[in-house]
Amino acid sequence: MTPQAAIALKPMTLPSALPSGRHPLRLLVPYLFALVVVAITVASAFLLPWLFPHASRSLLFLTGVLVVAARSSLGPSLLASFLSFLAFNFFFTEPVHTFKVADDGDVTTLAFFLLVSAISGNLASRMRQEMAERRASLERISQLYAFSRRLASAAGADEVLDALTDQLARLPGAPPGAIRIFLTATSEGPPGGSPPRETRRRGDDLALAPAEIQAAWERHGPEPVQRGPWLFLPLATDRGALGLVALADIQDPEQRESARSLCYQAAVALDRTRLVTDLAGARLAAETEQLRAALLSSVSHDLRTPLAAIIGSATSLLEYGAAFSPEDRRDLLTTVANEAQHLDRHIQNLLDMTRLGQGTLQLKRDWVDLRDLIAGALARLKEVLAGLEVEVRISPEVPLLWVHGTLIEQALVNLLDNAAKFSPAGGRIAIQAERDGQEVVIDLHDQGPGIPKEERERIFDMFYSVSRGDRANRTGSGLGLAICRGMIAAHGGQIQALPGEAGWGTRMRLRLPLVNAEITPQPEGTP
C-alpha cells in the first residue's frame, strides 16, 4: 500500500430500537467503557514510554481491546478496536498526527485488531448468554422445586390452588395477564357435563363468557384449548377431570408447555388431597359404625342384665309372694333396688358421655369439701362395696375444692365401682388424698389383678376392654373410665392408671388444680 493510500471506514450505527424496559443510558454504558479503556491505553503509552517501547505498544492497545471484549459484547469491542487503531495510527505511526497509513504493517495491525475483537467479543457474548441461560435455568429449577415442595406439603385443595396460581404468575417471560381456575365438586364428572365453578382469580379483570367455559369444558382433553385470548388447560389425572385453568395473553409455546406441566402437577396434588379427604371420611364412617355397634352391644347387654334381674324378682313376688318368707321377699326387693340403681348408673353414664361428646357439659362450680364428695360416693355404692374394706386417708392440708361437686362425685363413683368389680372378696380399697403444690392428688388403690403396662392408657377409651388384667372376662360398658377422664379434664385435671403397691392391683391417680386456692370462703353471715 502506498503512503497516500487510505482506508475507508464505515461509521458504526447503534440499534434504532431499544428493548422494552431498558433505559437508553444503560445501553451506552458499555460504549462509554470502551472509550475510557482506549483513553487509558493512550495515556499509558504516553506516560510510560520506558515500559511500553514502540514495538510493544500495539500489544498494549490489543490488551485494551481484550479487556473491553471480556467485560462487554461485540459492539463495544469493535468500537474499542476501531478507536485503538485510530489512536495508534494518529499518535504512534509515521506520519504522526495524521490518519494516513504509510506502512503495510499498520494495515495488518488494524486487521488483527478487528479479528481479535470480533472473536473475543463473540466469545464474550456467547459466554454471557450461556451464563444468563444457566442462571435462568437454575432459577426455573429452584422455582419448580419450591412448587413441588408446596404441592407435597399441601393439606387441602386451597393450598394446592394457591401454589398453582402463584407459580403460573411467575412463568418465564411475560407473566400472564389473567388467571382463572375452575374446579369441579368431584373428580367423577364427565367432561361434557356441567362446567365447573370458578374458585380462583388473579390478574387483569378480563371478561370470560360462560359460553367459552362451556365450550372448553365440552372439548376437554389432554391438549390445551384456545378460545379467543384465553388458553384453557385441563386439570385432569387418570382418575378423571378436576377442572380447567384459563390463562390470558399466553402466546409463547415454551410458556404454554410450562403452564401445562404445572397444571398436571397441580392436578395430581389436588387428586391426592381429595383421596386423603375421602380416606378420612371413610375412616370416620368406619369408626362411627364401630362406635355405634359397640354402643348397641353395650346397651343391649348392660341394660338387659339388670332388667332381667328386676323382671325376674318382680315376677316372683307377684306370682309367689305369699309362699315366700319375709326374708326371701326382702332379698328379692333388695335385688330389685340394687339392679335398678345399677341400671340408673349405666343410664347416667350414657347421658354424661353424650354431654361430653356434644360439648354441652357446663361446670357449676362451688366450694366443696373433698371428704363430703368421697362420703357421698361411698353411700351411693353401699351395696356394691359390701364385703370390701374401704380405707380413706385425707391430708389436713387439702383445702376446699372449687369444682362441680356432682361431676367429681360421679367420677369417684365410677372409679370405686370399677375397683369393686375387680377386687377379690374381702379385699381392700384405699383412698388417699394430699396436696401437691397447686394441685390435689387423689389416689385410689385396689387389690385386683392389675392392668398391663401397654394398656394403661387405652383403658380410658370408650368401649375398650383389655384381654387380661382387671378387665378380663368382666362385664361392663367400658364408659366409666372414659367419662371420668372427660369430667376431670373439664376441670383442667388429669387421670392416669398406675401400678399398685408391690406390683399388685391398680392405682388410679386424679390430679385436680386448685383454683383460687389461697381464698378461704367465709361462713354465711360473717362480716
Q: Which residue in this structure is represented by grid cell 326371701?
A: 328
Contact 232, 210 (CB under 8 A): no
What does the DSSP 8-state code read for residue 186?
S
Distance CA 43, CA 16 (A): 33
pLDDT number for residue 154: 84
Looking at the fold, whether 274 and 372 belong to one and the same domain comes out as no
Looking at the fold, whether 366 and 505 belong to one and the same domain comes out as yes
Q: Which domain holds residue 425?
A: 361-513
Of 282, 309, 332, which marks where a domain is finished? 282
CA distances from 478 to 296, 397, 452 (A): 12, 34, 17
Q: Where are the alpha helices (DSSP H) in 361-426?
A: 370-380, 405-422
Q: Does residue 268 lie within any of the structural domains?
A: yes
Give the rounded distance of the alpha carbon of 362 from its chain centre.
Answer: 33
Concatenated DSSP letters for 108-120? HHHHHHHHHHHHH
Number of domains in the chain: 3
Residues across the chain? 527
Pairing verdict, β 439-445 and 401-403 = unpaired
Looking at the fold, whether 32 and 98 belong to one and the same domain comes out as yes
Looking at the fold, whether 67 and 208 belong to one and the same domain comes out as no
pLDDT number for residue 431: 94
Looking at the fold, whether 84 and 184 belong to one and the same domain comes out as no
226 sits in which H/E element? strand 225-227
Looking at the fold, whether 377 and 462 belong to one and the same domain comes out as yes
Of 228, 250, 282, which marks where a domain is finished? 282
CATH of the domain at 184: 3.30.450
Q: Does residue 138 lie within any of the structural domains?
A: no
User: Which grid coordinates belong to 345?
Assistant: 348408673
Give the rounded distance of the alpha carbon of 392 from its chain centre.
Answer: 50
Of 256, 282, 308, which marks where a domain is finished? 282
Task: Report the sign of the C-alpha dihedral through residues 36, 38, 41, 47, in that order.
Answer: negative
Looking at the fold, whether 121 and 179 belong to one and the same domain comes out as no
Looking at the fold, whether 44 and 187 belong to one and the same domain comes out as no
Beta bridge partners of 508: 444, 497
pLDDT number for residue 94: 73
Q: Does residue 230 lie within any of the structural domains?
A: yes
Q: How far apart are the first and last CA of the chain?
A: 129
Q: Does residue 158 lie within any of the structural domains?
A: no
Q: Does residue 6 lie within any of the structural domains?
A: no
Looking at the fold, whether 182 and 123 belong to one and the same domain comes out as no
Q: Does residue 329 lie within any of the structural domains?
A: no
**What predicted TM-score, i.e. pTM, was given to this entire model?**
0.47
Nearest to 110 by CA among 149, 78, 154, 157: 78
CATH of the domain at 501: 3.30.565.10
- What are the mean pLDDT values of the chain's consecutive 10-residue runs (527 residues total)? 37 40 68 88 77 66 79 80 81 76 69 72 76 83 85 85 85 70 66 69 74 73 75 81 82 81 87 84 74 61 75 85 83 84 73 62 83 90 87 93 86 88 88 93 90 80 56 52 82 88 83 68 39
pLDDT number for residue 18: 44
Contact 32, 58 (CB under 8 A): no
Looking at the fold, whether 127 and 184 belong to one and the same domain comes out as no
Q: Does residue 332 lie within any of the structural domains?
A: no
Beta bridge partners of 435: 440
Looking at the fold, whether 269 and 196 belong to one and the same domain comes out as yes
494: Cβ–Cβ under 8 A, 6 or more apart, which residues?
Answer: 488, 510, 511
What does the DSSP 8-state code read for residue 15?
-
Looking at the fold, whether 400 and 474 belong to one and the same domain comes out as yes
pLDDT number for residue 361: 63
Q: Does residue 500 lie within any of the structural domains?
A: yes
